[in-house]
Every structure is written in C-alpha cells, then in structure tokens.
Amino acid sequence: MEFHRRKQKTITVPIVPLIDILVVLLFFFIVMMNDRIEKTPRPEIQVSLPSANAIKSKVTTVQRSTLTIGADGQTELDGIKVISGLLKETLRSNLKVRPGLKLALSVDKNCPWERVLVCHSAAVEAGYPPGDIFYPVRKSTETPSTESSP
C-alpha cells in the first residue's frame, strides 16, 4: 500500500533584507563610535594678522572737502548742513567752485549703510571720480593682543 506523502516546502530565509538591515546597523554603529573615540587635537597654527595701527602710511596734505554723515543720516559739507534732497546739486556746485578738490566722506559708525551708499553715489553723479572719494579711518585706541586662546 502506498501512502500519499505531502511535498515538504523548503524553508528559505530572505537573506537580502537581512543584509540591508546589517549594513544600516553597521553604519549606525560606525557613526556613533566616532563620537565616542577620543580625538587627538590637531596642531594649531599661530597666525598674527596685521592691524591698521601696524601699517605705516604717509601723511598727505591734499586739500579735501569733507562730507560728514551723522548717525541720523544728516549730511554736512565742510560744516554747512545740506538739505536732504539737494545733496547732488550741492556737491556739483562745490566741485564747480573748487575744481580738482577731492572729497572725504566722514561717516558716523551708527549711520545706516544705505545712507552712505546714497551719499557716495550722489558724489559720483555730481562729478567726483570714484578714486577721488575717500573714507578717513580713525586710529583705534585698542591695542591688538598677542596672546592666543587655547
């Protein structure tokens, strides 16, 4: 007598998803271990940058008109207040009266940057060459420190 046997299913383990999970876990542990490893400090390079006080410059005795821009945006040309809408015309007439005179823009540190750009472009449009417009730099009272923090 013959007995009917069922065919046995072969048991398979899906290996590809397991490999994917193992790779993800491996990356996770590598990244996490990098934070745990004590890193050796890199050697530091000591850089000493020059300051404006260290630069030697020549004293110039060129006559210049001074356009002063205050913290509130009010402008003065050689100590005389300039009406806000007539800046370009005032600079143009100053250039006609005193030809060849260069312009210094003295700006308050609290002045809005937009006002500085407006005054500079008005001076260029009035006829001052961009090379003849300069911004005087005041020497700072701070001394540069030579110590470096670790």
Tokens 């670790």, located at residue: 150
Tell me: pLDDT of 149 over 60: no
| Other CB atoms within 10 Å distance of the CB of residue 134 | 14
* Per-residue model confidence as pLDDT tens digits over 60-109: 666 777 888 888 878 888 888 888 778 888 888 888 888 777 888 888 87
Position 21 pLDDT exceeds 90: yes
Q: What is the pLDDT of residues 95-116, one digit of tens each?
A: 888 877 788 888 887 888 888 8
Query: What DSSP string describes the chain?
Result: --PPPPPPPPP---HHHHHHHHHHHHHHHHHHHHHHSPPPPPPPPP-----TTTS--PPP---EEEEEE-TTS-EEETTEE--GGGHHHHHHHHHHHSTT-EEEEEE-TTS-HHHHHHHHHHHHHHT--GGGEE---PPPSPPPP-----
- Domains, the chain, ordered by start: 64-134 (3.30.420.270)
